[in-house]
Structure 1
Amino acid sequence: MPQPITSIHGIGPATAEGFARAGITSAEQLREIGAEAAYEAWIAAGNPPHFIGYYALHMALQGRPWNDCRGAEKAAFRVKFDALKARIDAGIPEMDKGRARLDAALDEIGLIRRD
């Protein structure tokens, strides 16, 4: 039986809901795709990008507390986070960004039709 995402220390219910909107529903699935792809899916699902959430996810998947990330490691994550956001922003027209947020909100309240 799949383990809930919240079984990963450092991932709480709100984060799990955001990943569910992105189609990531189990700890095994999250570990399999990794932090980069998972966070990209997080943003694509209309969840707000946040640097602390980004590196906290990396830390959680390494079994480390979020506040263990410091110095050069944190700076390297900042570079990767900014590159991820820039890549996503470059590929999504402004109108579509709003649409993605709207779709995520409608999905959250159960108004997106699933075929």
Structure 2
Amino acid sequence: MSDPISSIRNLGPAFEQACTQAGIMTAQELRDLGADEAYARLLQAGTRPHFIGYYVLVMGLQGRPWNDCKGEEKKALRERFDAIKASTSRAPESQLISDLDAVGVRVSASDLKPV
């Protein structure tokens, strides 16, 4: 059996679930893809871009604490994150959901109450 994604430092169950939705099933697959390709796949699958999430992934794949990223290294990672975000197109349905969220149209199941 392969190690779960959550076995990688800094990455928990929520990140593991996002990876599963992006078709990344194991820690080894995530390592093989590398941070940039994996993050692009997460964005394509509908994950909202978030710089901290990106650099936490980078630090985790390097076996470093999430908050170990500082100074020039953090600046360089920000440039990589911006490039990934700019070059990644989201699935049309993910963009629709994002747009609905932005205007407050979409509701969750917990918002619905039986009559």
Aligned CA-pair RMSD: 1.7
Counterpart amino acid of residue 80 in structure 1? R
Deviations 1:85-111 (CA, angstroms, capped at 9, x unpaired): 11125xx6xx82xx13568xxxxxxxx
Q: Which amino acid aligns with 1:62?
A: Q
1:78 corresponds to? 78
1:47·1:101 contact (CA, 8 Å) conserved in 2? no
Runs of 5+ unmatched residues, structure 1: 104-115
Amino acid of the structure 2 residue aligned with 1:61: L
Report percent identity of matched pairs: 51
Inter-partner Cα distance in structure 1 for 2:83 and 2:22: 20
Structure 2 counterpart of 1:107 = none
Cα displacement string for residues 38-92 of structure 1 (whole angstroms, at most 9, x for unaligned residues): 0000000001110000011000000001100000000000011111111125xx6
Please tell me the residue identity of whatever aligns with 2:8.
Answer: I
Secondary structure, counterpart of 1:2 in structure 2: coil
May I ask how many residue pairs the two structures share in their alignment?
97
- Which 4+ residue blocks in structure 1 deviate beyond 3 angstroms? none
The 1:51/1:25 distance shift into structure 2, 3 A limit, reads same
Q: What does residue 10 of structure 2 align with? A: 10
TM-score by length of 1: 0.79
Residues in 2 aligned to 1:102 and 1:26: alpha-carbon distance in whole angstroms: 29
Q: Hey, what does 2:94 align to over in structure 1?
A: 100
